[in-house]
Amino acid sequence: MKDKILKQFDPLPTPDTELFIQEFRDIVPIKQDKIPPQRFCSKNISQGKRKNVANNKQIKQVAASFIFSDGFEAYFNPDEKIKYVKPGTEAQTIKRLARGDYAPEFLLDLHGLKQEDAKLEIAALLHAAHKKHVNCVSIMHGIGKHILKKSVPNWLMQHPNVLGFHQAPTEWGGKSALLVLLDVPTYFKKD
């Protein structure tokens, strides 16, 4: 039975197929010469790539750098929430910030960073916010050993674009974060 079915589907030799077979009789299949792509894991990154990544990071941070002084230390009452109002800024705007009327558009989490790295990240955040005309950002400094919790407000007070900051409401981090209000030119302010 199978033989009958197979014989029904065998193609009959045609002059075209016979000519094709005759023309390509001397052809030999090519051996596979492709090399599979090399996969790099993070441990095997080349030395040159490491330098490029480090250089790019340094270039970006220098472009967005602002020199924060560690010698400046403001007094914040430990019994009250951390807040600051730049002279000439309405205190009402910082009260609105504390109520959560301003939603931060950029969030920065400093957990696990050293002080020097945190400074650079804050400077880059403030630079990016100014470029994108963002008027409110959130900086999560954490609590931990209170190193960044004490340093971040001192750094923010030194930046010319910071109008004020307040301890964040619970939905934005509570005691471990600050909401920062930034100066945006009036013709770029969002409604």
**74-78, 145-149, 162-166: range with highest mean pLDDT:** 162-166
In the chain, at which residue ranges do the beta strands (DSSP E only) sit?
A: 83-85, 106-109, 136-140, 162-167, 177-182
Confidence (pLDDT) at 134: 92
Q: Is the pTM of the predicted complex or chain greater than 0.75?
A: no
pLDDT at 91 over 90: no
Cα–Cα distance, 77 to 79 (Å, whole number): 5
